[in-house]
Amino acid sequence: MEAVLAKYENQINVFSEFLEDLPDTDEPVWVLGECYNAKTEKIELLSDVHSRLWFTYRKKFSPIGGTGPSSDAGWGCMLRCGQMILAQALVCSQLGRAWRWRADGGQPEDYHRILHCFLDRKDSCYSIHQMAQMGVGEGKSVGEWYGPNTVAQVLKKLALFDDWNSLAVYVSMDNTVVIEDIKKQCRQASSESRFRPRPCGWQEPFTSRETPEQACSHTDGNRATTCPHSQFHSDWRPLLLVIPLRMGINHINPVYIQALKECFKMPQSCGVLGGKPNLAYYFIGFVGEELIYLDPHTTQSAVEAEAEAGSGVDDQSYHCLRSPRRMKITNLDPSVALGFFCKSEDDFDSWCNLVQQEIQMKRNLRMFELVENHPPHWPPFVPPTKPEVQTTGAEFIESTDKLFESEEEFEILNV
């Protein structure tokens, strides 16, 4: 009964509340690289916002670590926002940016498999259990509040254990994005490069005379088709680029506001982690001088699901059917993390060109630096690799500081 009431609460006055909350303006509404007219494209805008995976506080899940908390209410909001930005990258990778969720069901199998990665269970790759325990290696106790940079480091480590998505997570250091390092990490050969991905048969070896492209081609009736997952065989692993920044001391410096808006306009936009002190939000766009965000501060009961990754999940509570919240950009805490998803190397090159044209060449104070080569005074860049142990990752919480580098601090931008 409680689950039914929670689902009903999430859907109360869905259309009227959302449409009334949007400002009656001629200014464009930007959501993760897509532009909408608030007056003529409200339904399309609504569908886009509803399709984002929405992770909130949960209760009544199995205790973290066996004896820890069974709810993340009050402390897990930044972890939930981290889940949302990562989920957006996985949706873009597996389903495409144009994919839309339907409340009546009928979702593709890969959608349910993505959702299974975030269920509140210890064996889900990106569950609150895995994130909280991996955070111990970042110096955070289970139940302690996280900042954007710490969450980014946790996601980078957990992604190493996700063979299905093969996502490369790059977290910038010192406000600097190094093109050479990113291309080195995304071109990194993986041990699965000679195995078939789903749906052709995950980890089914190719024949010695068979190219990956040939192996992923199959016949559907009389029509030849190509496996939609064949991108895994390219020389480029899908990239989630996270750029932690501090755009001021106590408040955001107004000189960065326009540059922040430009980030939401980019087709590669994956959102922004940020919020207010001790209140984390997942920002997905803006209209005028206000940011649009998904708020994780709603406590729902944990969802029970079958163990099989592709099985259906009661997903109504994973989509925000209420009005998207808005806040003035000037109220944003200066500590944020920008997110971008690049599915291919051409996509990344396009993002680099956009950054150079729209941010670096037009702004007096740059949000971050984009450089071609690895700075000579930095330590050598070594792409992170999965430890040669069969584990989900959380078992390494006592030794992750030896396996990975952590950049907890980042410098404050000039004000």
To the query of whether residue 77 is one of the catalytic residues in this protein, the response is yes
List C-alpha distances in Å: 235 to 90, 186, 294, 346: 18, 8, 34, 12
Q: Is 167 helix (H, G, I), strand (E, B) or coil?
A: coil
Cβ neighbours, 10 Å, residue 306: 11
Tell me, what DSSP letter sits at residue 411? P
Rg from Cα positions in the chain: 21
Of the residues 295, 320, 333, 342, only one is catalytic, namely 295
Catalytic residue, candidates 48, 77, 112, 117: 77
Cα dihedral: 70, 71, 75, 76 (round 10):
100
120 labelled catalytic: no
DSSP output for 351-368: HHHHHIIIIITT-SS-SS
Q: Catalytic: which of 163, 297, 315, 374?
A: 297
Residue pair 182/239 in contact by the 8 Å Cβ criterion: yes
Name residue 69's amino acid.
P
Helix (H, G, I), strand (E, B) or coil at 93: helix
Concerning whether 297 is annotated as a catalytic residue, the answer is yes
Sign of torsion over alpha carbons 389, 394, 395, 396: positive
Catalytic residue positions? 77, 295, 297
